[in-house]
A and B are shown apart, each in its own frame.
Chain A
Amino acid sequence: MKARKVPLVYPTPSFAGLLFVLAAMWYAASSQNSAAVYLLLFALTAAFLVSIPHTLINLAGVTITLESVQSAFVGQEVSLPVEVTNGSRATRHGINLALSGSSRESERIDYIPAGNASRVTLRFPARQRGEHKVGTLCLTSVYPLGFIRFLKKFASSQTYIIYPKPAGDPQLPSNPAPTLHNRPQTEIRDGDDFAGARAYVPGESQRHIDWKAVARGQPLMTKQFAAEAEGAVHLDFSALRFANVEERLSQLVLWVIEAERARRPYGLRLPGTVISPAVGQSHFHQCLRALSLFQVGTVRRA
């Protein structure tokens, strides 16, 4: 990412303390007319002044690359994987990475050797559904003395989506639509017979995760059990009894997850949006995205 042109330098809280110490030294030196105290005063002043270019240089050549942000459900944590690259020929010390704005989340990197990169993950709670902009990432550094903070801003136009919180009744509605099309070859639902495993979908119940496989070092897999075949299910916003929009969305999200887990074709009908029944990752995310963005006009900032 490109850094904004104007670098920002501002004092840290301990700068006030330093000023106080310098003032005390100056007063003592001038009232006693003591050259030794003057020497101490000037040594401290000069050390502080010289530390300013050191602080500035500490972020020179340091850039960040934002990796793709995983979508998350409300109530979960959003992870922002960031790669901080030191493109200079010197080791950089004490770099702080933070998201500018309301969230106070920051990650500290103690050092990055020359030409290396360091991966950090910014985590913050997902609070509101919808599409959010990552916004501005800030690299700050107070190294070496900590009296001056240098800030480098990186604007990002990258967005991420926060899905509504899944809640409500996990039982899928029993209004199977006529399923003439898109009927899958094998129907898998909760049952007694083990029918294989597939990739874990974030948000779904952890009951069926194949933990033994995880222990063997394999990715998260969900065990599936074959049951009676059923037709596609239509998830209709307007058919729900809840008055609250968010509650309805939560229920729909839960059903989407349940249906996807059961590999049962599902369609989604929202006011103004109709998604025809299907299964699979892209369909799953399309539905969740539609639910997230429902009645949210603008893109929110993180």
Chain B
Amino acid sequence: MSKSKRDRSIPRWPLLWLAAALLFTLPPMFGSLATWVPCLFLLTLALKFWMEPKGYRLRFAALKLILAALALAAIFVSYGSLNGIESGVSLLVVLMSLKVLEAHTAREFQVMVMMGWVLCLCGFFLSQDFGIALCLLTAFALLLVALIQFHRGSSPGAFWPPLGTTCKLLAQAAPLVILLFLLFPRINTSFRFEFRAIRSASSGFSDRLSPGSIAALANSSDIAFRAEFPGSKTRPPGPMYWRGVVMWHCEGWEWRAPYTPAPVSQSSKLGGPGGRALPGQSPSGKAIRQRITIAPHGAHWMFALDRPFEIPPGAMLARGNYVWSVQPIRKARRYEVISSPEVGVNELTPHERQLALELPASISPAVRELAQSWVAQGSNPRATVNNALQFFRTHGFRYSLSPGEYKKNDLDQFLFHRRTGFCEHYAASFATLMRLAGVPARVVVGYLGGEYNDLGRFFLVRQADTHAWCEVWLPDSGWTRVDPTGVVAPGRASLDLNSFLERRIASGQMESRRNAFVTQLARSAIFTNIRLGWETLNYEWDTRLLGFDADVQEVLLESIGTASRGPLFLITEILVVVSALLVIYFGWMQLRTRSRVDRLKALYERFCRKAARLGVRRDPWEGPSDFSMRAAQLLPNESERIRQISNAYIALRYAPEPGSIILDSFAKEVSAFEAHHR
């Protein structure tokens, strides 16, 4: 029978669609799983296309068991354990590969499609980037196409028709998706499972600043965070110093942040709504509100423009005026923070002064001597700072991405011989030298600049924009930002790192890291626009869609006034709307596809019912012409009308070209039939 024949092999086209869909589930895997896993998957897909026409398949239970055991062992070897998200997803991918080799019935095709959906789910565990999400949603839709094509069988057209049907289905599903997404109660299940962080601490800077640690990030295009300025149509003026962490502990040329930062003391809080404002200075006037979407980095710091004073919940303002999250940031998070560029004068507590002057004993006499020479020339700290900057300006220091390796704590080598460094070399050495000169100093690590997206009106800050600078304590202005890098590389402060480097390369100050043509192309207007557009989409996806969590939903529900009714009420409401929509779809499709002949038939049946009421019942086997003759005989008063209706019906129904008789006039005649009789 045809059914059993269908069961013996999976037709080519549905398999092709399925393979296309499964290819789209691969991108997230290639980044995060052991490479052999997606490769194996690709291989089995290819193998299936070779096997299916020949009727080969994985048949023997023993062989299947052996292969599954081998795969399990391979996964164990690759990851060292079977726990964790990567090995779990790998296991699923491998099982799916085996299933692909084995499947051959209609039922199993359905199972493969469902496993494909589970792979989409796994893809979201691995990454939720916009690009990946697009791939996975495409895979989801292609799986629908595969399923539809499978059920279409040998219907003509295997490319556009199933695609069209899927589009129709998805278009009809879209309102439902939006409804469910906005209103379906987001209940947090009590049995949570935590994923091991996939790329923990691999992105961004660490709590330790050593020579070369920031230069290593200069090529990273990973996104650190995005910031928009609610209530403001333009970017704030001036250089954008994004404060990350303040390093207090000097270990010679290396600096370190406190492991558990102390909260900022009340007295050293900046002026502002929360703190003590200076007379004549109102930081709130220049306060900048920022909404920041931070990418997970596994550490505690949260970024804000220099310097934050109103911080989001779940964070604290640590000593040194930086925002320190209580929980490590393992998930993308969005928060609002208010900063003010105004620097207030606060007292420096004796403890803080001591902290800001602490030095290790290992510093060489030559360096100490250099620092002391600056103090000798001037009496006040400001003069000392200027002397130091002058030193960096005039002694042939160079700014370079690849300054070469320095031996551990080899400050002498840097200051007196090689004189080549990146921002962290300058910031760390400057701060150390300031402490040697008796000026309280600390190092701040964060980001400088970022790319402003005019389209989406937000700043995109990448890991490449990581920057380190110094703050020194001056009695008249308090903690003051000093960026020694700006002395060596003027102009860096107003640009993001990439633009800055491009300019230097263009002016011949630096050799190119990349092929000039590629650089040119990447900087051309059209590419910049495409990139900005793509980044805007990314941002919208991250903030609007991924950001729509239970809390945002709560706010939405409150605004439409259904928050208090509870989830059950919401579900009932959703059910009602969904059913109504489905009924509307059904009615619409019914109306669109119902035959016109059926209407004719319905009209004729109506006529027969009317005739029956007058006493002439049409027998099921009686043709319209026989019936009209009989009815005309039995109802002589109506004979003319009956004959007319019957003839019209026969003409409409059987004539090759109905000609002048139109269905509507026939309908009128039928309507008039009995009414006239009354």
Residues of A within 8 A of B (CB): 13-14, 17-18, 20-21, 24-25, 27-28, 30-40, 42-47, 49-54, 56-57, 60-61, 87-91, 93-94, 96, 105-108, 110-111, 114-115, 142-146
Contacts and interface: CB of A to CB of B under 8 A. Distances in A.
Nearest to A39: B181
Contacts of A107: 1-3
A88 B594 contact: yes
B556 interface: no
A108 B136 contact: no
B595 A61 contact: yes
A40 B176 contact: no
Contacts of A96: 3
A57 B589 contact: yes
B507 interface: no
A45 to B, nearest CB: 7
Interface stretch (B316-324, B393-401, B541-549): B541-549
B277 interface: no
Given A17-B110, A45-B180, A46-B177, A144 B147 contact: yes
B120 A40 contact: yes
Contacts of B547: 35
B140 A60 contact: no
**Mostly helix, strand, loop or mixed at chain A's interface?**
helix
Contacts of B110: 14, 17, 146
Interface of B: 1-3, 6, 107, 110-111, 114, 117-118, 120-121, 124-125, 128, 133, 136-137, 140, 144, 147-148, 150-156, 165, 169-170, 172-174, 176-177, 180-181, 184, 186-189, 191-193, 195, 545-550, 578, 582-583, 585-586, 589-590, 592-598
Contacts of A44: 117, 140
A46 B179 CA distance: 10
Which one of A18, A50, A51, A88 has the highest number of Cβ atoms from chain B below 10 Å of its Cβ? A50
B399 to A, nearest CB: 41
Given A107-B2, A108-B153, 14 more contacts: A13-B107, A27-B189, A31-B192, A35-B549, A39-B137, A39-B177, A43-B177, A44-B140, A47-B170, A49-B173, A49-B176, A56-B586, A89-B592, A108-B3
Contact of B155 (A45, A110, A114): A110
Contact of B148 (A50, A52, A56, A145): A145
Which one of A31, A39, A105, A107 has the highest number of Cβ atoms from chain B below 10 Å of its Cβ? A39
A25 B180 CA distance: 14
Contacts of B586: 53, 56-57
A25 B155 CA distance: 33
Contacts of A18: 114
Contacts of A57: 586, 589-590, 593
A42 B151 contact: no
B155 A111 contact: yes
A40 B191 contact: no
A21 B189 CA distance: 17
A42 B594 contact: no
A58 B131 CA distance: 36
B168 to A, nearest CB: 8
B5 to A, nearest CB: 9
B125 A28 contact: yes
B593 A90 contact: yes
A51 B592 contact: no
B104 to A, nearest CB: 16
Nearest to B541: A36
11 contacts: A13-B107, A30-B186, A33-B550, A45-B180, A46-B176, A53-B582, A60-B594, A90-B592, A93-B152, A108-B2, A115-B595
B2 A43 contact: no
A30 B550 CA distance: 10
A45 B184 CA distance: 12
A111 B156 contact: yes
A32 B548 CA distance: 13
Q: Which 9 A-B pairs have the closest CB atoms?
A: A110-B153, A46-B176, A46-B173, A53-B586, A111-B155, A90-B593, A42-B180, A14-B110, A110-B154
A32 B332 CA distance: 12
B545 A39 contact: yes
B590 A91 contact: no
A25 B3 contact: no
A17 B117 CA distance: 11
Contact of B188 (A30, A36, A49): A30
A37 B153 contact: no
A9 to B, nearest CB: 12
A40 B153 contact: no
Contacts of B165: 144
Nearest to A12: B110
A169 B101 CA distance: 56
B582 A36 contact: no
A61 B1 contact: no
Contact of B173 (A34, A43, A110, A146): A43
B622 to A, nearest CB: 16
A36 B3 contact: no
A17 B111 contact: yes
Contacts of B173: 43, 46-47, 49-50
A88 B599 CA distance: 11
A88 B592 CA distance: 9
Given A24-B118, A93-B151, A31 B594 contact: no
A59 B533 CA distance: 46
B70 to A, nearest CB: 26
Contacts of B193: 31
A87 B598 contact: yes
Nearest to A15: B110
Nearest to B578: A49
Contacts of B133: 36
A44 B593 CA distance: 26
Contact of B121 (A28, A51, A54, A105): A28
A114 B128 CA distance: 44
A145 B140 contact: no
B128 A34 contact: yes
A15 to B, nearest CB: 10
A129 to B, nearest CB: 25
Contacts of B177: 39, 42-43, 46
A111 B107 contact: no
B157 to A, nearest CB: 10
